[in-house]
């Protein structure tokens, strides 16, 4: 199953329930302009509304870049007011990814710089090809990250190292990103999508309701207006009311594979 977007490829494998969203601006190294961010947001909203979609892979077309950054030509023409609006919408779109109760894996193939690094960090997990490069080079342009980079990078790799990378604009190779905890795995380029599919397939074999609750509770830890521990207790109680909990515990006792329904 596929859908039509100006700057994206949207391909759903009905058998597995895995949707692959591919940013498709190869001549621009998949740089993010306003239209592409809008496409990503619309694709995510559609994915969250489609019950057939159970997990999502987000990647870029070609082998050179996941997303090489923002479209600088478009960015340079913005007024301060327009820039604020663009950042607000970009953050909203990226938060929709982060807040998804369906797992989202970034398959990072090549450069993930600026907005591309921010987009990858908004995903729940990141798998990098061995030629991947990460960075937040905005200070080179007299800017700072506007799509959540100053918030998510410290969460993922720690405050001190994040400040260093944000202020020096240094790029990280894939192995360093793995060592720092920015990515979960590094694999050869040819194995990137198959590995992500295998990772998601393992997750999708678990209880869908519980998977969604885990994502909500982990995100609640970082929310300014939420108590992550309280959210975890509430979700834990709700899980006990679910069919999936009863099925999972019964199947364990009966030593058989559970058949989860997401209810």
What per-residue confidence (pLDDT) applies to 234? 80
In a domain, 263, yes or no: no
Report the chain's C-alpha Rg in angstroms.
19
pLDDT over 90 percentage in the chain:
74
Assessment of whether the complete model's pTM goes beyond 0.85? yes
Residues of the domain holding 217: 208-253
User: pLDDT tens, 181-204?
Assistant: 999 999 999 999 999 999 999 999
The answer to whether 106 touches 59, Cβ cutoff 8 Å, is yes
Q: Which of 63, 138, 164, 216 does the annotation list as catalytic? A: 138
For the ranges 118-122, 138-142, 172-176, the lowest mean pLDDT is seen at 138-142
What per-residue confidence (pLDDT) applies to 191? 98
What per-residue confidence (pLDDT) applies to 263? 87
Q: Give the whole-angstrom CA distance, residue 201 versus residue 199.
A: 5
User: What rounded mean pLDDT belongs to the chain?
Assistant: 93
In a domain, 262, yes or no: no
Q: Are residues 31 and 137 in the same domain?
A: yes
In a domain, 259, yes or no: no
- At 34, is the pLDDT very low, low, confident or very high (cuts 50, 70, 90)? very high
Q: Give the whole-angstrom CA distance, residue 8 versus residue 39.
A: 7
What per-residue confidence (pLDDT) applies to 242? 87
- In the residue annotation, 176 being an active-site residue is answered as no
The count of other CB atoms within 10 Å of the CB of residue 230 is 11
Q: Are residues 178 and 61 in the same domain?
A: yes
For the ranges 15-24, 159-168, 218-227, the lowest mean pLDDT is seen at 218-227
Q: Are residues 86 and 106 in the same domain?
A: yes
In a domain, 261, yes or no: no
Averaged pLDDT for residues 111-128: 97
Domains held by the chain: number: 2
What per-residue confidence (pLDDT) applies to 162? 97
In a domain, 223, yes or no: yes
In a domain, 79, yes or no: yes
Q: Are residues 13 and 109 in the same domain?
A: yes
Q: Are residues 94 and 174 in the same domain?
A: yes
Torsion sign (Cα): 147, 152, 153, 159:
positive
DSSP summary character for residue 172: E
- Both structure tokens of 20: 């692959």
Q: Which of 50, 63, 118, 254 does the annotation list as catalytic? A: 118
In a domain, 260, yes or no: no
Report whether pLDDT(231) > 80.
Answer: no
- At 235, is the pLDDT very low, low, confident or very high (cuts 50, 70, 90)? confident
- In the residue annotation, 118 being an active-site residue is answered as yes
User: pLDDT tens, 76-103?
Assistant: 888 888 988 899 999 999 999 999 999 9
What per-residue confidence (pLDDT) applies to 1? 56
What per-residue confidence (pLDDT) applies to 171? 97
What per-residue confidence (pLDDT) applies to 72? 80
Q: Are residues 118 and 216 in the same domain?
A: no
CATH number of the domain that 119 lies in?
3.90.226.10
What per-residue confidence (pLDDT) applies to 222? 83
Q: Are residues 194 and 77 in the same domain?
A: yes
In which order are the strands placed within the sheet that holds 18-23? 2-4, 8-13, 18-23, 55-60, 104-108, 125-129, 185-187
Averaged pLDDT for residues 248-259: 89
Q: Are residues 135 and 79 in the same domain?
A: yes
Q: Are residues 136 and 122 in the same domain?
A: yes
Q: Are residues 118 and 200 in the same domain?
A: yes
Q: Are residues 117 and 132 in the same domain?
A: yes
Domain edge (last residue) among 184, 204, 224:
204
What per-residue confidence (pLDDT) applies to 2? 59
What per-residue confidence (pLDDT) applies to 228? 65
Report whether pLDDT(145) > 70.
Answer: yes
In a domain, 53, yes or no: yes
Q: Are residues 80 and 163 in the same domain?
A: yes
Least Cα distance to 31 among 97, 109, 113, 105 occurs for 113
């Amino acid at each position: 199953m596929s859908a039509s977007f100006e700057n994206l490829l949207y391909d759903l494998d009905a058998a597995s329930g895995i949707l692959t969203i591919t940013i498709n601006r190869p001549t621009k190294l998949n740089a993010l302009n306003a239209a592409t961010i809008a496409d990503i947001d619309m694709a995510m909203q559609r994915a969250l509304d489609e019950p057939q979609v159970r997990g999502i892979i987000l990647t870029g077309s070609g082998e050179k870049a996941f997303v090489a950054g923002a479209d600088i030509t478009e960015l340079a023409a913005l007024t301060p007011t327009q820039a604020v609006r663009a950042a607000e919408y970009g953050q909203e779109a990226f938060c929709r990814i982060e807040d998804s109760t369906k797992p989202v894996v970034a398959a990072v193939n090549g450069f993930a710089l600026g907005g591309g690094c921010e987009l990858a960090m908004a995903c729940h997990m990141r798998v990098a090809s061995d030629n991947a490069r990460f960075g937040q080079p905005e200070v080179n342009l007299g800017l700072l990250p506007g799509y959540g980079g100053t918030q998510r990078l410290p969460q993922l790799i720690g405050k001190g190292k994040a400040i260093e990378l944000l202020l020096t604009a240094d790029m990280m190779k894939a192995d360093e990103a793995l060592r720092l905890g920015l990515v979960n795995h590094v694999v050869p380029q040819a194995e990137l999508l198959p590995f992500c599919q295998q990772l998601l397939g393992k997750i999708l074999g678990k209880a869908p309701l519980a998977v969604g609750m885990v994502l909500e509770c982990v995100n609640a830890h970082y929310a300014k207006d939420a108590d992550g521990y309280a959210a975890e207790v509430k979700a834990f109680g709700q899980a006990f009311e679910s069919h999936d909990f009863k099925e999972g515990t019964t199947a364990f006792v009966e030593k058989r594979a559970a058949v989860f329904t997401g209810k």
